[in-house]
Amino acid sequence: MIVETHYHYIRLAAAPSDNLINSWYRDGERAGTKVSKEIYCRQIGDLVVDPDCDKLVKRMATDNIDVTAICYVDNVGYGSGNDRVMESNQFCAQAAAKHPGKLIALAGIDPRRPNGPLLLRRCFTEFGMKGLKWHPDDGYYPNSPEAYELLKVLDEFGYPLLTHCSPLPGSRAKFAQPIHLDDVARDFPNLNIIAAHMGNLWWHDWLAIAQYKRNLHGDMAMWQVMAAEKPALFRRYLREIVDNIGPYQTVWATDGPLFEPLVSNKKYIDIMKSLTTRGSDGIVFSQEEVDAMLGGNAARIFKLK
């Protein structure tokens, strides 16, 4: 089974603005991608205009991806009111419901939002969503008192938390550092937490905490550019992670659709499968390790059959 744990639901009626495309492209450029901006702009414009996720599900079939977790992001800094945010969550849930067994919808509720716990509960009971996505780099700590009120609801339902854990252009990186998830993992021992990007270049900090907090996982979103352009570095980093905590706290993800024009999902999956072949660096992964990272771990976290 192959499970993609981090795909952004972006409801757009037309291609995104040049500013938005430029910001997405810069992050891939920083990571070393060789895809031209012209190609990226053309492809991403088509990918993100997909309100019912029909295009996504077709690509999943082509790439042999069994399940994708689609997530909506809510940041109060964007200025949207509660009604607008709940409408967006409902659209995300409806897209998942249209493709049962293929898509899982994760709610987006900023913990600073008034009546946040009530809104999150509605996402679960009324919309059928199965988890929570956060972007604390907008200006809040995931271990803050208001965040804990939402986590109590999440813990009650037994659903996972996917929380951004990495610097980003224009973000407030201090709020997204892995250390803040140490409190969350300790205070909610039954809650499955997925640190998006495994902290990215903070991955050693995430790893240090994850070795003692077995409910703290990390996803491989944004790592595909390194995997494609700097394979030796990718293999060494991933081998060090698995050697220290085992293969059962890492889940495969892409941060789609933003990185698909840079490295296709099929190529990323092929890179993961090729890890079972010993490289010139002597690094090799077992089939069990690769299977766990590609889907087995996510199937357990999301309670998939």
Give whole-number Cα distances, 7 to 45, 88, 148, 219, 235, in Å: 16, 15, 24, 11, 23
Scan for tokens 């700097």, then name that residue. 230
Q: In what order do the strands lie in the sheet with 216-219?
A: 3-8, 67-71, 103-108, 132-134, 161-164, 193-196, 216-219, 250-251
6 has pLDDT over 80: yes
Task: Give me the count of residues in the chain.
Answer: 305
Where residue 88 falls among pLDDT bands split at 50, 70, 90? Answer: very high
**Which of 65, 1, 3 has the alpha carbon at shortest distance from 298?**
3
d(CA 92, CA 70): 7
pTM above 0.85, yes or no: yes
pLDDT of res. 260? 94
Burial string for 149-171 (b: 16+ CB within 10 Å, else e) reads ebbebbbeeebbbbbbbbbbeeb
Scan for tokens 């891939």, then name that residue. 28
Structure tokens belonging to residue 20: 């938005």
Where residue 28 falls among pLDDT bands split at 50, 70, 90? Answer: confident
Structure tokens belonging to residue 172: 């407030």
Q: What digits encode the pLDDT tens for the residues 122-153?
A: 999 999 999 999 999 999 999 999 999 999 99
Q: Kindly list the domain boundaries of the chain, sorted by start residue.
A: 3-301
pLDDT of res. 125? 98
d(CA 49, CA 268): 23
46 has pLDDT over 90: no
Q: Using CB atoms within 10 A of its CB, is residue 282 exposed (0-12), middle (13-18) or buried (19+)? A: exposed
Scan for tokens 């703290």, then name that residue. 216
Helix (H) or strand (E) segment spanning residue 56: helix 54-63
DSSP state of 242: H
pLDDT of res. 77? 81
Region 55-75: mean pLDDT is 97
Burial string for 233-266 (b: 16+ CB within 10 Å, else e) reads ebbebbbebbeebebbbbbbbbbbbbbbbbbbbe
Q: If you average pLDDT over each of 16-20, 29-33, 154-158, 225-229, which comes out highest?
A: 154-158
CATH topology assigned to domain 3-301: TIM Barrel (3.20.20)
How wide is the angle at C-alpha 72 spanned by C-alphas 68 and 73, nearest 5°?
130
